[in-house]
């Protein structure tokens, strides 16, 4: 991309999408800090993430640091069925907890089948 400093990832890469989303999330945080509605902050953050990544469904789940657990059901969601959201849980010590509180990155894949080569 012309005009970008050297060393920045291309906009189409995952790191490039992160580079695009951070200023928008910062703006949402500033709006919230200035007296915005908490749900509005989550909605702006969620919509921004969807726009930047191109995915069609996501949700925001809050984490209670004092209790050490996620607060379900999700605070805001888009593109997910009521049945999915009603059954949504984050069990103690599960993948979400490990990803959020653990010391390492967590590799996860939601693919339902293994691709074949032909």
* First CA to last CA distance, the chain: 35
0.75 cut: is pTM over it?
no
CA distance 61 to 57: 13
CA angle 32, 34, 36 (to 5 degrees): 40
Q: Mark 35-69 as b/e (b = at least 16 C-beta within 10 Å).
A: eeeeeebbbbbbebbeebeeeeebbbbeeeeeeee
Q: Output DSSP code: residue 65.
A: T
Residues 60-79: pLDDT tens digits?
A: 888 888 888 888 888 899 99
The string of pLDDT tens digits covering residues 78-108 is: 999 999 998 888 888 888 888 878 888 777 6
């Amino acid at each position: 991309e012309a005009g970008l400093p050297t060393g920045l990832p291309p906009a189409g890469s995952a790191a490039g999408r992160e580079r695009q989303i951070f200023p928008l999330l910062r703006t949402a945080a500033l709006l919230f800090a200035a007296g915005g509605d908490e749900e509005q902050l989550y909605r702006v953050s969620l919509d921004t993430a969807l726009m930047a990544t191109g995915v069609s469904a996501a949700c925001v789940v809050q984490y209670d640091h004092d209790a050490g657990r996620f607060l379900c059901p999700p605070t805001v969601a888009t593109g997910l069925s009521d049945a999915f959201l009603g059954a949504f849980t984050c069990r103690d010590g599960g993948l979400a907890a490990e990803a959020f509180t653990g010391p390492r990155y967590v590799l996860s894949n939601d693919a339902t089948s293994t691709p074949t080569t032909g």
